[in-house]
Amino acid sequence: MQKNNRVQIFPSILAADFGNLSKAVTSLDGSGADAVHCDTMDGRYVPNISFGPMVVKAIKPHTSLPLCCHLMIEEPENYIDAFVDAGAFEISVHAEACVHLHRVIQQIKAAGVLAGVALNPSTPLCMVENVFSDMDMLLVMTVNPGFGGQSFIPEMLPKIAMARQMANELNPDLNIAVDGGIDVKTAPEVVRAGANILIAGSSVFGHPEGVKQACAELRSAFEDA
């Protein structure tokens, strides 16, 4: 995944209506969204349970957008193939959940999909410096993972800026994504810091005028900043 100079919006279906998930996913086509963000939680790595590869496979026919799967799970290496088979375009694993992170990144790439690494707010960037050149995407968590609808942690802005500086030196094509509390207020801040992928859940699916208007307002917020 070569870095896209155009900032991209990845709505997270964790905030969608699970009773009408296929409809929610279909609504993203033509909305201004660039991909669908799928949050998998196992109740062990994070204190919540969401969905697995069966749901990813089920929603795949309902959208033309790529599916990016964020695995908030222990031992993610055991589930890579299942998510690839389900139709994942990109898979992100947490550095904290991987004993052999480099090996897991190579496993994802060998399966034919893009590889991302996610970092919790308390995890320093030095934890992934040795794999910067191997990643397609670095996902900086701007909330503590496990639940949607949380407030943005502003102390993560210097971390995003430092990540972009490191990427410029080690991997200029690296995409830097941010996940957590992204809305019209925080979007300009993270883009200025160096993020080029915004993962947004509640601010998109909870918008009273629908996902298309939500994406338009989000894009306007950071493009006009």
Residue positions annotated with a catalytic role: 39, 179
Q: How far apart are CA 183 and CA 43, in angstroms?
A: 26
Contact 115, 122 (CB under 8 A): no
The token duo for 209 is 């005028």
Q: How many CB atoms lie within 10 A of CB 83?
A: 24
For strand 90-94 and strand 67-72, is the pairing parallel, antiparallel, or unpaired?
parallel
The residues, any chain, with a CB within 8 Å of residue 64's CB and separated by 6 or more, are: 29
Q: How far apart are CA 125 and CA 120, in angstroms?
A: 10
Q: How far apart are CA 209 and CA 170, in angstroms?
A: 41
Place of tokens 């080690």: 170
Contact 113, 89 (CB under 8 A): yes
